[in-house]
């Protein structure tokens, strides 16, 4: 009997040791490890099919030491990965909303900065959200300026009913706060619309914006600017955005270079910076060098700025956006809370793509505005 008891005790001891060894195998996962791996999978959804995404994933891999740190970083950096794919606009967002905003024409005095600085009259179209009341001077609104591409015109963004409907629905569904949107132009009554002349026009646009367009719009509509003085317009930069498509995208990059004091948020859609160079001579490194130095010299990391850069995979001129994005992403200074690059799968150089970029970018704007 004693011998049998001894055998049983030895067997139980061996079984206990065997279970303990199995529990500590190198391949075995603890609940904490399983949770950590699950977090990593969710926080890295990009498909690395583009050169930019491939490069970004290598840089990100070198910088992040653990899934937990990666998750914490994403929360602090506006909860958006630095590269990825845009989401399709829901069909219902392109339908007429119950609560619809209004679009009005605004004529304003300016100067012909390309030729002789003679006085001219220019036009912009202004969208005000549902419920906007001219007599209510207490309620203030964020503002977005939009610029067309080659050959375009003031009000172009509101020519597309689906896009105007989308603005209404984004506001009605609480995706963005009520906002004023301006569809402007870099052309004027003396402009030629050939390509080389168009480049001259958008290169001079920042002067019209600073001295005439912005004061005309924000002197009439209730934005966060306390007045149209340069000081008050600069003081309200956190409530101002600028975006554009094609040559309007190039204009947007130049707005960053010239008007960073007035604008916090930027949406360049299908285009790169031409501060140096021009079409076909994009000089990505020189332009990004300039932007990086500007950020350092003007303390923009602390003051804040955000660029949502976008292009379609089938866009005929996507190479300049890809080249610009690769150069931006190669610099450590342009973190995801300051610069992101998103692509529309199958997107062409058209307003269907523009609508999708706006749908994805606008909910990320004005998050830090107070």
Distance separating the N- and C-terminal Cα atoms of the chain: 83
Q: 260 lies in a domain?
A: yes
Q: 75 lies in a domain?
A: no
Q: 245 lies in a domain?
A: yes
pLDDT at 367: 84
Q: Which of 315, 320, 298, 310 is nearest to 364 (CA)?
A: 310
Domain interval for residue 209: 85-364
Q: What does the angle CA 247 – CA 252 – CA 258 come to, to the nearest 5 degrees?
A: 125
Which residue matches tokens 């049998």?
A: 4
Per the rule left: phi > 0, alpha: psi between -120 and 50, beta: everything else, 86 is beta
Q: 214 lies in a domain?
A: yes
CATH number of 264's domain: 3.40.50.1820
Q: 194 lies in a domain?
A: yes
Q: Which residues of the chain fall below pLDDT 70?
A: 1-78, 369-370
Q: 211 lies in a domain?
A: yes
Cβ-proximal residues to 105 (8 Å cutoff; 6+ apart), any chain: 123, 124, 125, 126, 155
Q: 258 lies in a domain?
A: yes
Q: How many domains are there within the chain?
A: 1
How many CB atoms within 10 Å of residue 187? 22
pLDDT at 80: 82
Contact 264, 237 (CB under 8 A): yes
pTM of the model: 0.80
**N residues, the chain:** 370
Helix residue ranges, H only, 90-141: none
pLDDT in tens, 97-110: 999 999 999 999 99
Distance CA 146, CA 55 (A): 31
Q: 207 lies in a domain?
A: yes
Contact 164, 172 (CB under 8 A): no
pLDDT at 56: 37
Token code pair at residue 164 = 């105007």
Distance CA 261, CA 299 (A): 11
């Amino acid at each position: 009997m004693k011998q049998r008891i001894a055998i049983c005790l030895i067997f139980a001891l061996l079984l206990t040791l065997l279970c303990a060894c199995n529990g500590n195998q190198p391949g075995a996962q603890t609940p904490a490890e399983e949770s950590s791996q699950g977090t990593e999978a969710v926080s890295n959804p990009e498909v690395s099919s583009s050169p930019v995404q491939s490069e970004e994933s290598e840089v990100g891999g070198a910088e992040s030491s653990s899934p937990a740190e990666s998750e914490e970083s994403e929360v602090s950096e506006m909860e958006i990965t630095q590269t990825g794919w845009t989401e399709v606009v829901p069909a219902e967002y392109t339908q007429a909303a119950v609560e619809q905003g209004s679009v009005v024409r605004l004529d304003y005095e300016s100067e012909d900065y390309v030729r002789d600085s003679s006085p001219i009259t220019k036009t912009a179209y202004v969208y005000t959200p549902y419920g906007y009341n001219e007599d209510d001077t207490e309620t203030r609104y964020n503002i977005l300026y939009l610029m067309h591409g080659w050959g375009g015109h003031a009000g172009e963004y509101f020519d597309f009913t689906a896009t105007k409907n989308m603005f209404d629905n984004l506001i009605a569904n609480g995706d963005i706060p009520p906002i004023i949107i301006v569809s402007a132009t870099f052309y004027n009554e003396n402009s030629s619309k050939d390509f080389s002349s168009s480049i001259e026009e958008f290169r001079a646009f920042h002067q019209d914006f600073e001295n005439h367009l912005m004061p005309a719009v924000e002197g009439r509509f209730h934005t966060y600017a306390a007045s149209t003085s340069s000081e008050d317009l600069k003081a309200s930069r956190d409530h101002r955005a600028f975006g554009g498509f094609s040559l309007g995208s190039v204009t947007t990059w130049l707005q960053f270079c010239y008007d960073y004091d007035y604008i916090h948020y930027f949406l360049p859609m299908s285009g790169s910076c031409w501060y140096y160079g021009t079409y076909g001579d994009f000089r990505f490194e020189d332009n990004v060098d300039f932007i990086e130095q500007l950020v350092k010299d003007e303390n923009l990391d602390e003051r804040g700025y955000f660029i949502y850069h976008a292009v379609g995979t089938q866009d005929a001129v996507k190479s300049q956006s890809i080249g610009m994005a690769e150069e931006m992403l190669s610099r450590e200074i342009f973190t995801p809370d300051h610069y992101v690059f998103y692509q529309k799968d199958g997107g062409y150089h058209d307003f269907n793509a523009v609508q999708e970029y706006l749908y994805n970018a606008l909910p990320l704007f004005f998050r830090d505005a107070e």
